[in-house]
């Protein structure tokens, strides 16, 4: 029987030499793989109150939408700066080389709502931490963070766990 990891393709030297890109589009394209990933991402949270799913741009939208549908709850996107219409709040974070900004609508989360944060891959944890800060600034309470892939050598899990968050990842790949 195939595992989630079996559905993920590795592309060598993309987008730069020395990078092993973990491509989850092959997982998404297979109906069994996609179902397996969604079911396993949800498993630790069965029976918990979750009011909304927050997905991080961009593959977190695919996962977040599917998970929100499965739970019959709302979905909230966290996007790169300038992509959301209307009033937003922003959070800046550091990348390996430079900085980036993510945004959320200022009315997307109500105080006290229980939020599950999802994305495809956990690397350094910068994007996830910025997204979590946005949710908390709106008064949301993070119940957990779910990812398909964890790249432990980049330290994202440790960053988020040291901030006190529950992390669930379906598989790990060594290296970058």
pLDDT, position 73: 98
Distance CA 10, CA 72 (A): 33
pLDDT, position 118: 98
Is 77 part of a structural domain of the chain? yes
Is 126 part of a structural domain of the chain? yes
Residues designated catalytic: 59, 96
- Mean pLDDT for the stretch of residues 5-26: 95
**Closest by CA position to 78, among listed 106, 50, 47, 99:** 106
Number of domains in the chain: 1
Is 11 part of a structural domain of the chain? no
Range of the domain at 113: 47-172
pLDDT, position 3: 98
Please state which of the ranges 23-27, 91-95, 146-150 shows the lowest mean pLDDT.
Answer: 91-95
- Mean pLDDT for the stretch of residues 128-135: 98
Is 38 part of a structural domain of the chain? no
Is 1 part of a structural domain of the chain? no
- Mean pLDDT for the stretch of residues 17-21: 92
Q: Is the pLDDT of residue 88 over 90?
A: yes
Is 135 part of a structural domain of the chain? yes
pLDDT, position 40: 98
- Mean pLDDT for the stretch of residues 118-133: 97
pLDDT in tens, 66-79: 999 999 999 999 99
* CATH number (domain holding residue 158): 3.40.50.2020
- Model confidence at 20, pLDDT cuts 50, 70, 90, reads very high
Is 66 part of a structural domain of the chain? yes
pLDDT, position 97: 72
């Amino acid at each position: 029987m195939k595992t989630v990891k079996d559905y993920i393709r590795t592309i060598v030297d993309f987008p730069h030499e020395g990078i092993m890109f973990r491509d989850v589009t092959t997982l998404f394209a297979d109906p069994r793989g996609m179902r397996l990933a969604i079911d396993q991402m949800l498993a630790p949270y069965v029976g918990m109150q979750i009011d909304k799913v927050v997905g991080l741009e961009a593959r977190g939208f695919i996962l977040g939408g599917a998970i929100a549908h499965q739970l019959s709850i709302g979905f909230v996107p966290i996007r790169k700066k300038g992509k959301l219409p209307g009033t937003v709040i922003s959070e800046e974070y550091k990348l390996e080389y430079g900085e980036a900004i993510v945004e959320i609508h200022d009315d997307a989360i109500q105080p006290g709502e229980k939020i599950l944060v999802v994305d495809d891959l956990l690397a350094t944890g910068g994007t996830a931490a910025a997204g979590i800060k946005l949710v908390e600034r709106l008064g949301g309470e993070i119940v957990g963070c779910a990812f398909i892939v964890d790249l432990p050598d980049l330290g994202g899990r440790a960053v988020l766990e040291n901030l006190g968050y529950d992390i669930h990842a379906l598989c790990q790949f060594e290296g970058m």
